[in-house]
Structure 1
């Protein structure tokens, strides 16, 4: 993978499962670069992923408290910009033992997205387009 982009303009945060789950799935299996990470900073663990080719980064934070239960409509959606990119990431995920799952929302199937469950049952959507 190319070096990490300088992503400083925008970020989004989400409460999440323990960071170890996200780190393995998003770094190793999806291939996102890690820009920063921390443990027990005022009671919070966190990790920041770069989103290659985009002026954004994604920060996942876990407060060590109660983790909400997965719901099929709580999803991390990665807009990958084309069918080839979705196929490359999907192949890497399948090669590491993950299996695609059916979407509860027919929108994703109609628009050729591929969904995978993370180790805690949360859904990661690989969408083959980007918003301009």
Structure 2
């Protein structure tokens, strides 16, 4: 399958933003526990606290924002996920052990696709899911589901 980007859309980087009601905890979760690099961080800018983390590097990044007193966010949904495609089952095991070592436990996947293919899911402090998948999308085929 060939994938091409539209010529009229000269994108050099992509950022998506997610609200948080637990800013300090999500900073620890994404920066310290997962170990994502911090590209930018601020407090009290026009009432916003924020952090931008690289996914990986700088062309793709996620911004986490807290605003309001008290901050309010939409209710988490199990299909609103950050999927990190890791380089194999051992990479997933290493990341999952690190999360467990910081007191985070895996959560069940609403969609059996992830579990059937060896992915492990965790919730961040706001309840948003992070999927640790054991293959690199676009480089490797997903592992087949177990034979029934």
Instruction: State the TM-score, normalizing by the size of structure 1.
Output: 0.81
16, 21, 33: which one pairs with 1:17? 21
CA distance in 2, matches of 1:83, 1:52: 19
The residue number in structure 2 matching 1:26 is 30
Is there any run of 5+ residues in structure 2 with no aligned partner, and where?
1-11, 139-148
The residue number in structure 1 matching 2:142 is none
Q: Which has the higher strand share?
A: 1
Is there any run of 5+ residues in structure 1 with no aligned partner, and where?
1-7
The residue number in structure 1 matching 2:91 is 85
CA distance in 2, matches of 1:23, 1:80: 21
20, 42, 46: which one pairs with 1:42? 46
Considering only aligned residues, what root-mean-square deviation do their CA atoms show, in Å? Answer: 2.0
CA distance in 2, matches of 1:20, 1:86: 25
**Paired residues, number:** 125
Greater relative contact order, per chain length (Cα 8 Å cut-off, separation 6+): 1
> Stretches of 4+ moved more than 3 A in 1?
52-55
Larger radius of gyration: 2
Residue 120 (1) aligns with residue 126 (2): yes
